[in-house]
């Protein structure tokens, strides 16, 4: 697999703005949706993880939003279109799980688009409950309990 560097980035920085652009291209624009300033403003205290090529090009983004002391929600998982299917998403999710464990969260939760369900199942996540609609498309709630 290609070399990738995964690191936390800070809200409101040029790195964050670049990641929002990637998220828009991968997750919002295909649905004809935008991020509102209010939606982004809520992210000031969330955890932002980004994957880069050694040369510095952004490959992927992932958000961790704490729900309570035990549960953290994985959101906005987006791999640049040309880089999908090369293990970047898997590496980013694995790194987010390590970080969540370091922060003493016990369970990861997420809302997966139907097309992404097999990806998360491959990484040990299970569907919980019935599918539902979000941002106009079908989603599945999925969870994974942290291994100690």
Ligand X SMILES: CC(C)(COP(=O)(O)OP(=O)(O)OC[C@H]1O[C@@H](n2cnc3c(N)ncnc32)[C@H](O)[C@@H]1OP(=O)(O)O)[C@@H](O)C(=O)NCCC(=O)NCCS
Q: Which stretch binds ligand X (CB under 6 A): 14-22, 31-39, 63-71, 77-85?
A: 77-85
DSSP annotation of 146 = P
User: Given its phi and psi angles, is residue 76 left (phi above 0), alpha (psi -120 to 50 degrees) or beta?
Assistant: left
Report how many residues bind ligand X under the rule CB under 6 A: 19
Q: Give strand pairing partners of 72.
A: 66, 108
Binders in 2-61 for ligand X, by CB under 6 A? 26-27
Give φ, ψ of 75 to 5 degrees. Answer: -135, 160
Can you say how many angstroms the Cα of residue 5 is from the centroid of all Cα atoms in its chain? Answer: 16
The reply to whether 116 sits near ligand X by the rule CB under 6 A is yes
Write down the H helix ranges in 52-112.
Answer: 88-102
Q: From the CB of 108, what's the least distance to ligand X, in Å?
A: 13
Choose between 66 and 87: whose C-beta lies nearer to ligand X: 87
When binding is defined by CB under 6 A, the residue of 32, 54, 85, 129 that contacts ligand X is 85
Helix (H) or strand (E) holding 23: helix 14-23
Q: Which stretch binds ligand X (CB under 6 A): 31-39, 49-57, 96-104, 114-122?
A: 114-122
Q: From the CB of 5, what's the least distance to ligand X, in Å?
A: 15
Tokens of 12: 């409101």
Instruction: Determine the Cα–Cα distance for residues 93 and 49; give it in Å rounded to an integer.
Output: 10
The reply to whether 141 sits near ligand X by the rule CB under 6 A is no
List of residues contacting ligand X (CB under 6 A): 26-27, 77-79, 84-90, 112-113, 115-116, 118-119, 122
């Amino acid at each position: 697999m290609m070399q990738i560097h995964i690191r936390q980035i800070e809200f409101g920085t040029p790195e964050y703005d670049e990641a929002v652009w990637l998220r828009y291209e991968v997750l919002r624009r295909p649905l004809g949706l935008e991020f509102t300033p209010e939606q982004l403003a809520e992210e000031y205290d969330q955890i932002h993880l980004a994957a880069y090529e050694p040369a510095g090009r952004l490959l992927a983004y992932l958000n961790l939003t704490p729900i309570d002391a035990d549960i953290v929600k994985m959101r906005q998982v987006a791999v640049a279109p040309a880089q999908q299917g090369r293990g970047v998403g898997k590496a980013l999710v694995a790194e987010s799980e390590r970080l969540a464990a370091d922060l003493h969260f016990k369970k990861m939760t997420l809302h997966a688009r139907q097309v992404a369900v097999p990806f998360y199942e491959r990484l040990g996540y299970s569907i919980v409950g019935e599918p539902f609609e979000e941002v106009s498309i079908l989603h599945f709630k999925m969870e994974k309990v942290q291994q100690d």
